[in-house]
Amino acid sequence: MGKSLVDKIWDAHVVKVVGDLQVFYIDRHLIHEVTSPQAFDELAARGLTLYNPDQIVATADHNVPTRNQHLPIQDPLSRSQVDKLTENCAKHGVELFGLGHEYQGIVHVIGPELGITQPGMTIVCGDSHTSTHGAFGAIAFGIGTSQVTQVMASQCLLISRPKRMRITVNGELRPGVTAKDLILHVIAKLGTGGATGYFVEYAGSAIRALSMEGRMTVCNMSIEMGARGGLIAPDATTFAYLKGRPYAPQGERWEQAVAYWQTLYSDANASFDAELQFDAGGIFPMITYGTNPGMGMALNGSIPLQVLESESVSFDKSLQYMGFAPGESLLGKQINYVFIGSCTNSRIEDLRAVAAYVKGKHKAPHVEAIIVPGSKQVEKQAIAEGLDQVLTAAGFELREPGCSACLAMNDDKIPAGAYCVSTSNRNFEGRQGPGARTLLASPLVAAITAVEGRIVDITKYLN
């Protein structure tokens, strides 16, 4: 029996088997200001030191303002958390891309763009969207703060082997249908807990055809169907993206790395615990209508009229929160906020897609549209390409990098009751601010919504 990609990488990282659990080695540990302070404290309380500071990279992203980053942070609690990260990194010799650093940005944007993320690696971070890095053929997953301490102290975790699921998407995506629509479609079919306990490998011609940015969007949202992680076998697209990045192997070492990375794929006769197939042509531009990412539908579809009796309490609560009715279409609904950003969709390709559509157009007068680049590097590239001019001329506000209104830890909040079409990953109650109503969509849908000021069937607006 052949091996799956997950098994190949997994087996290469097992230090020791302990009953049903395994001492599992972690190559890269990414940390940020919100889930690391208690871990550093725990380490100190136990008199431990970092196992290897060189395997950790830190950035400030969750809690940072997206305006005036050159000034001291106004909110004292946010400032103290960011200061604590700076202090801890200095004390323990951890490389930090803090505010003002040219490499600062959302942890899941900077890892890949700097070449820190590489195929075959195991990567963890105290953040559930760590699954993003799986786009490079890495085993990457989110952990809690106790586990952050464990990796700091031992470079290992004590965990169980996941079940394996393969999701194959064959065929070609329709015009206007993006990686975001693809993954929202899959999550809508599986439900918000449908992949719990599994590591998902995405395969098939539609996945192969995606850029690295698109693959990252897909893997990013694996957690939204409960998966422990998601990954895609590395290929020429992966290698071309990584080559020459600051932390990628160079010279002879690059050749050796690629030779190894080329062995990372699921063997033809590999077995999976679950297999699902989708036809890319059957996927349409998507939007969510409820309060978990599984509550999604085609833009021109209708909210289900009814659900299973056991699920009706949660379904009704969700629609009541959103102010929608069963069976309703969302077309024509007025939208007041558009947020383009987050570790799901804040990369240069996302900004290009928005700029390409809004060029020469203007947002609707009642819409507040903010666009938050994923990193300083994305921001720099956007400026180099003149995207900032296009976006500003269209009435979009281009901010500085951070997680921003995806989780509203900073000042970027959506007011109670207001609708926001957002390119982020979660539409949970209050996620974008207490009472905020989030509709998840692709950057293209978000851009068209900002211009029209309401939900429209975007197929009529494509060139």
Partner 1 sequence: MEKFQTLRSTAVPLPIENIDTDQIIPARFLKATTREGFGANLFSDWRYTSDGQPRLSFVLNDARYGGQILLGGKNFGCGSSREHAAWALYDAGFKVVISSYFADIFKGNALNTGLLPLQVSDEVLQRLFRQIELDPQTQLIVDLPTQTLTVPVWEESIGFALDPYKKECLINGYDDIDFLINQKAAIAAYEKQRPWAY
Q: Which of residues 438-457 bind partner 1 (CB under 8 A)?
A: none
| Structural contact between residues 82 and 64, judged by C-beta atoms closer than 8 angstroms | yes
Which residues ranging from 50 to 109 are in contact with partner 1 (CB under 8 A)? 51, 62-63, 75, 77-78, 80-81, 84
| Binds partner 1 (CB under 8 A): choice among 59, 178, 192, 288 | 192
Of 90, 334, 434, 462, the one binding partner 1 (CB under 8 A) is: 434
Please state, in angstroms and rounded to a whole number, the distance separating the CA atoms of residues 124 and 131.
9
Cβ 157 to partner 1, closest distance in Å? 8
Cα separation of the two ends of the chain: 49
Q: How far apart are CA 308 and CA 320, in angstroms?
A: 17
Q: Which is nearer to partner 1, 119 or 285 (CB)?
A: 119
Smallest separation (angstroms) from partner 1 to the CB of 42:
8
Considering the complex, state which of residue 211 and residue 262 has its C-beta at the smaller distance from partner 1.
Answer: 262
Residues contacting residue 259 through CB under 8 Å, at least 6 positions apart: none
Tell me the site size for partner 1, rule CB under 8 A: 79
Which 304-363 positions form the footprint of partner 1 (CB under 8 A)? 310-311, 313-314, 317
Residue 131, φ and ψ in degrees, nearest 5 = -55, -20
Q: Which of 65, 126, 134, 341 binds partner 1 (CB under 8 A)?
A: 126
Nearer to partner 1, 226 or 285 (CB): 226
Taking CB under 8 A as the criterion, the residue among 4, 104, 155, 342 binding partner 1 is 155
Phi and psi torsions of 189, nearest 5° = -75, -40
Does residue 154 bind partner 1 (CB under 8 A)?
Answer: yes
Measured CA to CA, the distance from residue 167 to residue 250 in angstroms comes to 33
Among 98, 159, 276, 359, binds partner 1 (CB under 8 A): 159
Helix (H, G, I), strand (E, B) or coil at 197: coil
Q: Provide, rounded to whole angstroms, the least separation between the CB of residue 108 and partner 1.
A: 12
Cα 129 from Cα 139, distance rounded (Å): 12
What pairs with residue 229 in β-bridges? 199
Q: Tell me the two tokens of residue 367.
A: 């819409």
Structure tokens at 20: 């049903």
Choose, by CB under 8 A, the member of 100, 193, 244, 281 that binds partner 1.
193
Backbone conformation region of residue 309, classed left if phi is above 0, alpha if psi is from -120 to 50, else beta: alpha
d(CA 30, CA 36): 10
Nearer to partner 1, 321 or 461 (CB): 321
* Sites for partner 1 among residues 230-289 (CB under 8 A): 257, 260
Query: To the nearest whole angstrom, how small is the minimum distance from the Cβ of residue 176 to partner 1?
Result: 29
Question: Minimal distance in Å, beta carbon 130 to partner 1?
Answer: 8
Q: Which helix (H) or strand (E) holds 111?
A: helix 107-113
Segment near partner 1 (CB under 8 A), from 269-277, 380-388, 423-431, 450-458?
423-431
Query: Does residue 165 interact with partner 1 by CB under 8 A?
Result: no
Per CB under 8 A, contacts with partner 1 among 132-151 are 142-147, 149-150
- Per-residue x/- track, 378-417, partner 1 (CB under 8 A): -----------------------------xxx------x-
Cα-Cα-Cα-Cα dihedral sign, residues 455, 175, 343, 385? negative
Query: What is the residue whose two structure tokens read 């005036």?
Result: 68
349 or 412: CB nearest partner 1 = 412
Give the span between the Cα atoms of 215 and 60, in whole angstroms. Answer: 24
